[in-house]
Amino acid sequence: MSSPRPASLLAQGKPPKPSSVSAQQPSPKNAKATAKAEKAARRAAQKAAQGGDAEGTAPGPVQGVGAGQQPQQPGLGQQGQGQGVQKGKGGAQNHGAKPQNAPSKADSAAPSTSSAPPPTSSASPATFDALQPFLHLDLPMPSSSLSHSLGASTAGIHPSIIRLALQYSEFKVVGANARCIAMLEAFKDIIASYTPPPQTTLTRHLPTTHLNPQIAHLIRARPLSVSMGTAIRYLKYEISLIEMEMDLDQAKSLLLSKIDSFIRDRILLAGRVIEQHAIDKIRDGDTVLTYARSSVIEGVLLEAKRQGKEFSVVVVDSRPLYEGKNLLASLRLASIPTTYVLLPSLSLILPRVSLCLLGTHALLSNGAMFSRAGTAMVAMMLREKGVPVVCCCETYKFSERIMLDSIVGNERATPLPLLADLSLSSPVPAPSSSSKPPVAPVPAPALPSSLSPLSLLYDVSRPEDVTVVITEAGLIPVQSVPVLLRDYKPVQGRNT
C-alpha cells in the first residue's frame, strides 16, 4: 500500500517535506508509489503557483492542449497521469460535468482566439490600404464651394470663370477640345474687361497677378487637361511678346485675335484636316468601332456620310459619363446605322468590326494614348483581333510626358454615379390617409465600411496597340511623336 501522507498533502496543495519522507525506510514498492505521489504533488503545486484552479479543470489524464491551457512539456506526461488519478479519487462527482462559467486566471492569461474580442476598426485599415495607391489624386470639390456663395474664395474671380468652373465640376462641359475652347472664350471675356492698375503694365500684371488666380479657380473644379495647358502657355507666350509701349486697347485687340487664331488653326482647322485623312481609311461596307465620344471622330463619321460612303458604326460606352449616348443621338440624326453596346459586351461584337477609330485626351511622348477610362481595353482587344486601331489627335494635344501606368497621373471623379444602382437608400413609407404633416424623408445610410468606391476618368493604352496616328501634319507612327514635338514647336506656343 502507498502511504496516505502524500495524498493528504496533495489535497492541501502543498509538497511533502523531504525530511519526513527520508526519515522512513520504505520498501521498493512503497518508494515507487511515494515518488509518483511526490511528482503529482509538485505538479499540483506548480499549477497552484501559476494561479490555476485545481477543481476548474476536467478530471482525468491530460490528452492534449486545449484553448486557454498551457502547453504540456515533454517530460511531464507521467505527472499529468498521476494528477488525473488523484483527482479521480477526490472529485468523482465532477466527472463528466461541464467546467465552471468563470474562467481561471491561467485561462485568461493564455492567448485564445475564441475569447478575444473582434477588432473594432478592422474594415477601416483595409479600406485605407485599398485606396492607398490613389490617395495622391484629389477628389473633385463640390460645386457649392465654387459659386458666389463663398465670397472669400471667389473674390477677384471673373464671373465667366466662376460659371465655367461650375460647368466643369458638374461635367456639363467634357472633352479636351470643348474644355479648351470654353476656357479660351472665358479668357477673352477677362481680357476684354481688363484694366491694369496704375504704375503697372499689361505684360507684367496680366499673366501673373490677374490671370493666375483665374486658372487656379479652374483647377479647383477639375485638373487642367493637356490641351488646356498648351493653350495657357500659348497665351502667356503671346502676352510676353507685347511691347510695353503698346496702347492698351491695341494690345487687348491683339491678344483677342491671337486667341481666335489658336482656336481656328489648332483646333477647328486641324480637325478638318484630320477628317479628310481619316475618311480615306473608311470603305463601303465597313463596320467602324469607336469608344465613348470624341468630337474629332464624330466629325469624321458625319463627313464620311456626307460624302456618300455606306458604313455602319458600333459605339462602345461605359460608366459613369455615358458619353456615347450623345454620339449615338448625333449619328441617328445623320441616318447612320449604329449599334450601341456597353464595354462588357465588347467581345461579342468584335467579329463584325473592320476598323477602329479612337480619339484621345492626350498623346504622350512614348506614343501611348491617355484617354477616357476603357480605351486601353478597347485598343488591346482589337489589336489582338487584328483590327487596325487608328488614333485621331491634334498636335496641340501632344505631351512631353511619359506614363507607364494610369496611377501616377490621373483624375478621380466622384464615385456616386457608380453607386446609383445599389440599394443604399431607405424605403419610403407609404402615405397615410390621416391629416398629419408629411414626415421628412430618412437620409440614406452611409456606405459600408468594407466598400472602397473608386472612379478614375482616364487610362493609358500601350503604344504597340496603336496602328497609326492621324494628325493635321499627316499620318505618323507612334514612334514619331517625339520628332513632331521637337520640330513642330509653334504648337506649343514657343515661337511666332
Domain assignment of residue 250, given as a range: 143-268
**Res. 59: pLDDT tops 50:** no
Same domain, 353 and 474: yes
pLDDT band of residue 211 (cuts 50, 70, 90) is very high
Residues 237 and 311 in one domain: no
β-strand partners of 412: 456
312 and 251 in a single domain? The answer is: no
User: Domain check: are 261 and 292 in the same one?
Assistant: no
The mean pLDDT of 187-214, rounded to a whole number, is: 93
157 in any annotated domain: yes
Give the helix/strand (H/E) hosting 207.
none
Residue % of the chain over a pLDDT of 90:
51
Closest among 149, 294, 140 to 218, alpha carbons compared: 140
pLDDT (average), residues 123-136: 65
Nearest residue to 97 via CA among 61, 58, 62: 58
Q: Are strands 287-291 and 312-317 parallel, antiparallel or unpaired?
A: parallel
Of the residues 209, 233, 268, the one at which a domain ends: 268
Task: Mark which of 268, 300, 320 sits at the end of a domain.
Answer: 268
pLDDT tens, position by position, 388-408 = 999 999 999 999 999 888 888
- pLDDT value at residue 151: 54
Greatest Cα-to-Cα distance within the chain, rounded to the nearest angstrom: 128
* 260/393 same-domain check: no
What pLDDT score does 393 carry?
96
- Predicted confidence at residue 319, as pLDDT, reads 86
Residue 99 in any domain: the answer is no
- Give the integer Cα–Cα distance in Å for 177 and 67: 68
The percentage of the chain sitting over the pLDDT mark of 70, rounded to a whole number, equals 68
Question: Rounded to whole angstroms, how far apart are CA atoms 395 and 254?
Answer: 24
Lowest mean pLDDT segment, chosen from 82-91, 241-250, 420-429, 460-469: 82-91
How many helices and strands in the chain, by DSSP H and E?
18, 10
How many CA atoms does the CB half-sphere of 17 hold within 13 Å? Answer: 4
Cell of 196: 491694369
50 falls within a domain = no
Is-contact 52 106, C-beta < 8 A? yes
Asked whether 266 and 394 are in contact (CB, 8 A), the reply is yes
Q: For position 165, which CATH number holds?
A: 1.20.120
Residue 226 falls inside a structural domain: yes
Domain co-membership, 300 together with 260: no
Same domain, 176 and 238: yes
Q: Could you give the 3-state DSSP secondary structure of residue 359? A: strand
Is the separation of the CB atoms in 176 and 226 below 8 Å?
Answer: yes
390 falls within a domain: yes
Three-state SS string over 454-470 comes to: CCECEEECCHHHCCEEE
Of 124-133, 143-152, 266-275, the range with the highest mean pLDDT is 266-275
**252-256, 310-314, 370-374, 431-435 — which is least confidently predicted?**
431-435
Q: Is residue 360 located within the same domain as residue 336?
A: yes
Q: Residue 125 — pLDDT band, cuts 50, 70, 90?
A: low
Tell me which of 145 and 397 has the higher pLDDT.
Answer: 397
In the predicted structure, residue 132 carries a pLDDT above the cut 50: yes
What pLDDT is attached to residue 113? 41
164 and 232 co-located in one domain: yes
Q: Show which of 268, 299, 318 is a domain's final residue.
A: 268
What's the structural domain count of the chain? 2
Same domain (yes/no): 237, 362: no
> CA geometry: angle at 6 spanning 4 and 9, to 5°?
110
Q: Is residue 41 part of a domain?
A: no
Answer yes or no: do 164 and 292 share one domain.
Answer: no
Query: Taking 70 as the threshold, does the pLDDT of residue 448 lie above it?
Result: no
Is residue 18 over pLDDT 70?
A: no
Q: Name the strand (E) or helix (H) holding 392.
A: strand 389-392
Q: Is residue 368 part of a domain?
A: yes
Q: Is the pLDDT of residue 165 over 80?
A: yes
Return the amino acid letter for 485: L
| Distances, alpha carbon 1 to alpha carbons 25, 80, 90, 103, 215, in Å | 14, 21, 18, 37, 102
Split at pLDDT 50, 70, 90, the class of 437 is low
For residues 160 and 259, membership in a common domain is answered with yes
**CATH value at residue 331:** 3.40.50.10470
Q: Residue 494 pLDDT more than 70? A: no
Q: Is the confidence at residue 9, as pLDDT, over 90?
A: no
Cα dihedral across residues 147, 149, 152, 158: positive or negative: positive
pLDDT digits (tens, 9 = 90+) for 221-230: 999 999 999 9
Measured over the CA atoms of residue 279, residue 283, residue 284 and residue 286, the dihedral's sign is negative
In a domain, 136, yes or no: no
Whether residue 287 contacts residue 312, with contact meaning beta carbons closer than 8 Å, is answered with yes
Cβ–Cβ < 8 Å for 239, 233: no
Residue 450, pLDDT above cutoff 50? yes
